[in-house]
Amino acid sequence: MLLLREPPDNSGFMIAAYTIVAVVLVGYSVMLMLRARREEQRETGDGRRET
Amino acid sequence: MSSLPSSTNSDTRAAAGRALSTGRVLTVIGLLAVAAALVRAIAFTGVEAVQGPAQKIMYVHVPSAWCAFLAFGLVGICSGLYLWLGDRRLDTFSEASAEVGVVLTGLVLVTGPIWGKPIWGTWWQWEPRLTSTLFLFFLFVGYLTLRRAMFDPAERARYSAVVGILGAMLVPFIHLSVYMFRTIHPRPVVLNPEGPTMPGSFVATLLFSLAAFTLLYLGLVTTRYGLGRLRELREARDVAAA
């Protein structure tokens, strides 16, 4: 007789992994863009002083 | 050391601006693509009968690992080219790629154990694939720390190029470790000699996620490269002012 087994219910692990990935990727992207903007603003200020 | 000539300054500034604009656009598209990949994995891809929903962690774990290996591979290539050609842009790109690679390796090292706990029954095993990936992570954290500790740009670029090449040499070793050693880590499910060992819909979701993560990697590394170019300018000015 063929016994069909239900897949284990471990969706909490998947949700935890996806949440961490989303938070890290969005967080790093935002941080990088803020660093870039700060550097651009500093560059604009320095460039003006240079001229 | 003298300051860069003003024409070179404005060229560098323009190049950095272009890299930042392109990087921002690619990053936003990449983030949207990764979000779409997660939705596809959760809602439109079947649940594996034996492993359950935890198997879907593979759709973020494998692409993170692929992009991290791509990132460190490019660090090795650009570092080698820097030592040969001496072009500062290659060093700046290596730094950018190493930083993004460290973030992605961090994700690999976090998502792997989250999958391992329900499937293996343990968060961590000191086996070749996991241990060598942890070493790779520490090695490139060391690479970034070394860069921050050195102030002479030429010396910093030369030393970090050597570390970058040595670190990148770990990548093929990590990829082949599942064939070289007795290990509990699964073998590649797509890039293996017998062809994909999963149903077509699983492979399609994995490939979609791989493309999304690669796009995001390109966005992040381009933005970080632009930032590095702007820092080069500031560094040259600071040296000239000192």
* pLDDT, mean over chain B: 91
Residue of B11, B26, B57, B120 to mutate, testing the A interface (most A Cβ within 10 Å of its Cβ)? B57
**3-state class (DSSP) for residue B126:** coil
Q: Which two tokens stand for residue A4?
A: 């069909």
Residue of B32, B40, B56 to mutate, interface with A, max A Cβ within 10 Å: B56
ipTM of the complex: 0.91
Confidence at residue B1, expressed as pLDDT on a 0 to 100 scale: 38
CA of B116: which chain A residue's CA is closest? A13
Confidence category of residue B200, pLDDT binned at 50, 70, 90: confident
pTM score, two decimals?
0.91
For residue A14, the chain B residues in CB contact (below 8 A) are 42, 53-54, 56-57
> Residue B43 to residues A13, B67, B93, B198: CA-CA distances in angstroms?
16, 24, 37, 18
Q: Do B223 and A36 touch (CB under 8 A)?
A: yes
Residue of B nearest to A42 (CA): B234
Give the pair of three-digit tokens for residue B162.
Answer: 């050597």
Mean pLDDT for the stretch of residues B217-227: 97
Is-contact B51 B119, C-beta < 8 A?
Answer: yes
At B145, is the pLDDT very low, low, confident or very high (cuts 50, 70, 90)?
very high
- Helix or strand or coil: residue B52? strand
Average pLDDT of span B123-141:
94
- CA B80 → CA A29, B93, B169, B187, B210, distances in Å? 28, 12, 12, 30, 27
Instruction: Tell whether the torsion through CA atoms of B28, B63, B170 and B70 is positive or negative.
Output: negative
Is some CB atom of chain B closer than 8 A to the CB atom of A41?
Answer: no
How many residues can be counted in chain B?
242
Cross-chain Cβ contact B53/A13 below 8 Å = yes
pLDDT at B188 over 90: no
**Both structure tokens of B164:** 């970058």
Min distance A3 CA to chain B CA atoms (Å): 13
- For B13, which residue in chain A has the nearest alpha carbon? A43
Name the amino acid, one letter, at B195. Answer: G
Scored b (16 or more CB within 10 A) or e, B170-203 reads bbeebbebbeeeebebeeeeeeeeeeeeeeeebe
H and E: helices and strands count for chain A: 1, 0
Report percent pLDDT > 70 for chain B.
96
Whether A10 contacts chain B with CB within 8 A: yes
Give yes or no for residue B204 having a pLDDT over 90. Answer: yes
Answer yes or no: is pLDDT of B199 > 80.
Answer: yes
| Cα angle, residue B135 at apex, residues B131 and B137 outer, rounded to 5° | 115
Residue range B157-183: mean pLDDT, rounded: 91
Among the listed ranges B8-17, B35-44, B189-198, which one has the minimum average pLDDT value? B189-198
Measured between CB atoms, does A20 come within 8 Å of chain B? yes
Residue B165 near residue B80 (C-beta atoms within 8 A) = yes
Spatial distance between the Cα atoms of B76 and B67, rounded to a whole number of angstroms: 14
Name the residue among B2, B9, B30 with its Cα closest to residue B229.
B9
Q: For B123-148, what is the mean pLDDT?
A: 95
B63-116 confidence digits (pLDDT tens) = 999 999 999 999 999 999 999 999 999 999 999 999 999 999 999 999 999 999
d(CA B119, CA B128): 18
User: By three-state DSSP, how is residue B48 classified?
Assistant: strand
Residue A1 Cα, gap to closest chain B Cα (Å): 18
Answer yes or no: do B53 and A11 touch at CB < 8 A.
yes
Among candidates B23, B53, B216 on the partner chain, residue whose Cβ is nearest the Cβ of A14: B53
Instruction: Tokens for B41, please give them.
Output: 């994995």
* Distance between CA atoms of residues B78 and B83, nearest Å: 9
CA B222 to chain centre: 12
**Residues A1-51: tens digit of each pLDDT:** 556 678 888 899 999 999 999 999 999 999 999 999 999 888 887 655 555
CA distance B176 to chain A (A): 25
CA-nearest residue to B25 within chain A is A33
Q: In degrees, to the nearest 5, what angle opens at C-alpha B53 toward C-alphas B49 and B59?
A: 110
